[in-house]
Amino acid sequence: MTDIEFDEHHYVSFSYFLERACGIVLGDSKQYLVRSRLAPLVKRYNCLTINAYIDSVIKGNRAHQTAAIEAMTTNETLWFRDDYPFKLLESPILSQFSLKTKPLRVWSAACSSGQEAYSIAMTILNFKKHQANSFRAGVEIVGTDISEEMLQRCRSAEYDQLAISRGLPEQFKADFFEPADNGKLRLKSQVKSLTNFRSINLLDNYSSLGKFDIIFCRNVLIYFSPEVKKQILQKIAACLQNDGILFLGASESISALTDKFSMVRCNPGLYYLIKPQ
């Protein structure tokens, strides 16, 4: 057996660990994913094999556990993913909230490397260019993720040319970015000032985040069991204001999981409106 191969027993043990730690359900056929994500950690921590690395995770090595969770939860993402949530945000949703006497609060859950949170910020700033008196009370966009490495990337607000090329409109690139070191681009302070990033495990309690007007929890629930999905949706519902809005991924449905939301169909796309409590 080579150092990047591992047996079924270790795959099952690691699957149980990952589900307990962060809710992700691997299923029976993701050995290739575990192999590709853990192989670099085997070398980083001088383990002989993936089996040996998994053994150290199961035995409670905190550094190895944290690194494994970060490796398994890290996903590349796009600017303005699926497009329609941001078009709906700009019109008509932002108009509904534009005269609020309290700050508009938006949560980007499982924000990965920050593209979604910053796409929301740029959409709001673009709206404000045409509606000068909107959001006089301010805007706060909270991005959360389980990975501290991803949160550090979010806070740096710097992206290489490959990341920039994935869905960012040229006009937004011109309006909201400035040159950084090593050929990267950095988001301007007007964008960064709308955002803050915090470490949150979606299995935990997140009432400390406060109430939000809009929550993006997109392409996240697909990784969890039905029971965990129900729990997360209950907690998300508790975090929404009475007229709050939830965006999910384009292929995600929650009709069988919760009765807390009403579906609002649009052209294109849809969102969920919290039902009156």
Residue whose token pair is 């807390």: 260
What value does the mean pLDDT take over residues 254-269? 93
Residue 4 is predicted with a pLDDT of 63
CB 211 within 8 A of CB 235: no
Q: Could you tell me what percent of the chain has a pLDDT over 90?
A: 86
Residue 54 three-state SS: helix
**Phi/psi-derived region of residue 203, left when phi > 0, alpha when psi is between -120 and 50, beta in every other case:** alpha
Query: Which of these, 139, 123, 125, lies nearest to 88 by C-alpha position?
Result: 123
Give the HSE-up count for residue 140: Cα atoms under 13 Å, Cβ half-sphere: 15
- Residue pointed to by tokens 């920039």: 164
**70, 149 contact by CB (below 8 A):** yes
Q: What domains lie within the chain, and their CATH numbers?
A: 8-73 (1.10.155), 84-274 (3.40.50.150)
The contacts of residue 12 (CB under 8 Å, 6+ apart) are none
69-120 pLDDT tens trace: 999 987 778 999 999 999 999 989 999 999 999 999 999 999 999 999 999 9
What pLDDT sits at residue 3?
55
Residues ≥6 apart with Cβ < 8 Å to 190: 125, 176
Question: For residue 245, what are the β-bridge partners?
Answer: 214, 273
pLDDT tens digits, 23-66: 999 988 889 999 999 999 999 999 989 999 999 999 999 999 99
**Burial (0-12, 13-18, 19+ Cβ within 10 Å), 100:** middle
- Average pLDDT, rounded, for the chain: 94
DSSP string, 55-116: HHHHTT-HHHHHHHHHHHH-----TTTTSHHHHHIIIIIHHHHTT-SS-EEEEESS-TTSHH
| pLDDT tens profile 116-162 | 999 999 999 999 999 989 999 999 999 999 999 999 999 999 999 99
List the beta bridge partners of residue 185. Answer: 159, 179
Q: Kind of pairing, strands 261-265 and 270-274?
A: antiparallel
What sections of the chain are H helices per DSSP?
Answer: 8-22, 31-44, 50-58, 62-73, 84-88, 94-97, 115-130, 148-156, 161-164, 170-176, 189-192, 226-238
What pLDDT shows up at residue 255? 86
Token pair for 40: 């670099």
